[in-house]
A and B are shown apart, each in its own frame.
Chain A
Amino acid sequence: MAYSVNWTTKVFTIPLGDLTLVSGSNYTLDTSDFWIEVRRLEASNATGDGLYAEQALEFINTQTLSGIPYSAIVKLINGYTWDINATNINVSLIGKNSNLLDTYIPGNGISVLANNSAGKTDDENIWDANLVDHETAGSFGEYVGKQLLTFKKFFSEK
């Protein structure tokens, strides 16, 4: 399925099928998916799409400040909002920082849980980074490294 859009009232409606089921009535929405789908819709001249319409979304890419890579931001702008074509579910936003909680149209018993946090970092970049970058004396990285139970430690302590 695909999102439906009321370009006049500026509302994106996400079908339930485009959410990821976790369990029961708990779902997740990856904000990256939201970003990609909105970009596609606003760049298309197919009937019902929004090539003519005002830009709906702003994407601010990963930023590195003081050596720390901060997560990208997905941001609905220009008065656009969104809702979900479902009832009585819980939706957790995952992935990039976003303002989707702020732009969600509440109703139908749906709870949206934001994942934003102040200074959220780009976890992927950290986990993908070389260990050499995390061995500075006294750093958290050094501490974690020392606490890891390796095979070598396991057998030597046994």
Chain B
Amino acid sequence: MAVYDRDATPATAVTAFLAQFAISAAGAITYVSGTDTFHVWWLHRALQKKVWDLTTSGDDLLNLAKPNPSTSEALGTIITLLDHTTDYSVRYNITDEVAESLFGGSVEQQNASSQTERYSGLQVLGTAVAGTQLQVIQNHAVYTSFWGTGLNQTDANTLLRIVVKTIVAGAEVDQQIVVVKASEFGDQYAVWETTLGLGEKVAAISTVDDPNNNTAIGTVQAYTGYSSVMATAEGYDLIDVDGNGADPFLGTLSYAALTGNQNKDALYEVVKAHLVRGTTDTLFGIDGDLWTSRLYQLTVTPGSGSQVYVQNEVVTWTGSGEGIFLGADDVDEDNTTRILIHINKGVAPVNTDVITGATNSANNTVTAAQKLASNANYIGVYTGTNYLAAEGIGFLDTELIFGDTVKALDGETPSVPQNVTLSLTVNCDASDDPYAFLAEKDPVLNAPDYNKYSGTTQGVSVSTVIVAETIDADEPQTGYVGVLHTGRTYFTFYEYSSWTGSTFTLVGTTDAIAITAGDDVFIAFFYEALVGTGATQTLSNSFVFDSGTRDFVGWVRHGDPAIPDKPVAIAYNSVGSNSQSLTVTLDNES
């Protein structure tokens, strides 16, 4: 197989072209045999050569008596085959099969109905992992590949050069838009949209090995819950990532369904598996092969009807645009202000375009369109520890960890708190029900800091405990606040569900006793029974790291009247930004 680029030796290239193709007296150029490929320039030159000859030869039935077959523009990259049907009954044209051997420019011709047809040049530049089979998506369908792992790689930076039929019977195929994809499992994915036309247009693709995608695809596809995970991607969700209020996201991806593989690695690979080349899996109802990552957020004017959009339905808009409805802040067109779509065909909607759902004809008028900074693999970059999520992609907040980066649809970039978890494991008799207490250590004493805060005056049976100080940023998000009420000889502990400023919001209410200004108040990280039953029981609590280090002291006790255990002191020392765990063993006291 030889590749005859624009700079090939003319005599050699023309001879090879004429050997591989036949030219009828009526101008039909057809494939005969051979595997060589040719710059479109050599189509033009071969035809010109034949009509320059005095006699025909072999299966090329042209000679000087025939009308001009073609024209060339732009240095031989725009070839037009001429139609002389009226005067000479000759119409020069190539077949789709011939086109598979051409590259480097466009070839335009007329069909039998005098309608324009065009093959447009497509050059894919970049680098890809060996063995990558590029895909070309046109008009929401896979363009049948004849290029395997690459074709016409005329230089080191070229992955593929072909011509793609972009005008058929006088009509542009999807406005001559194509999307080039590389989605081989184990590699990073890439996608590039380009609009073809006359000459040769370029798409850029770059892939490298994905170090966090090493599991065999068959294994991933066999995960329990594989087929249900992507449902969590669908829709418009509000997620509170940083604890400071919810932000809008597209879906709430979660690995919770992946029983036995409930981790970020698995979720990342499952998402990629749904979009791998050749898949039949879907994302938002779109076949993974046809997922082109062209995601748009549309600001729309609430409508006047009462129809609703349907998840994953087809939507259309002015200008032959077609896409899939991914989500909306409200599916009722009356209340819709924000719509998310994946473009299947056409170009993105613009201001004043009307978006219409196929199911119920719900419609809204676009006032602004924003292209999301999407990733070819949908989910975004994964480092093996952290997500660098594509814009707008939502995750279950409890599955995010410090270092994960997300960007909400409203442009906010909420930070995932740096949670520090103190974990306790207690080995004991299977029948034991031990309790644990843990609190921040007193700055001086080797004892809990029982008077870290001071209460403020509050009535009885209230749902908050308000302290005189600003609550430290690194107090646990949930826990127990202990209050030494004036008039009581013991601390009373109230479980709280959140806090802000100087106020702890309680799960219930305080006792029927007031809080007096100056009452000692402190936070217990643990003040409860261990979780679980049997010989190993656990407990944990988290806080958001702020700065510095702290020490914690406490104990595990089991005061069973039948068989008490020796109390065991526990301590977490120099707790900074890293979580700590501790294991203790209870011994019977007698």
Contact = CB atoms under 8 A, between A and B. Distances in A.
A31 B520 CA distance: 34
Contact of B435 (A35, A44, A53): A44
Interface of chain A, main secondary structure: loop
B9 interface: no
Given A45-B435, A45-B528, A61-B590, A55 B567 contact: yes
A14 interface: no
B561 to A, nearest CB: 5
Interface residues of B, number: 30
B114 interface: no
A89 interface: no
A50 B437 CA distance: 10
A47 B492 contact: yes
Contacts, number: 73
Interface residues of A, number: 27
B484 interface: yes
B384 to A, nearest CB: 41
Nearest to B450: A52
A51 interface: yes
A59 B563 CA distance: 13
A51 B489 contact: no
B303 interface: no
Contacts of B492: 47
A30 interface: no
B482 interface: yes
Interface stretch (A4-12, A100-108, A109-117, A139-147): A4-12
Given A5-B490, A40-B559, A47-B492, A52 B527 contact: yes
A21 to B, nearest CB: 22
A94 interface: no
B493 A52 contact: yes
B589 A6 contact: no
Given A7-B491, A9-B489, A44 B559 contact: yes
A43 interface: yes
Interface of B: 434-435, 437, 439, 447-448, 482, 484, 489-493, 511, 524, 527-529, 555, 557-561, 564, 566-567, 569, 589-590
26 contacts: A7-B491, A8-B489, A36-B564, A39-B559, A39-B561, A40-B564, A42-B567, A43-B434, A43-B557, A43-B558, A43-B564, A43-B567, A45-B435, A45-B528, A47-B492, A47-B511, A48-B490, A51-B437, A51-B527, A52-B439, A52-B491, A53-B490, A54-B447, A59-B589, A59-B590, A61-B590
The 4 A-B residue pairs with the shortest CB-CB distance, nearest first, are A43-B559, A43-B557, A6-B489, A40-B559
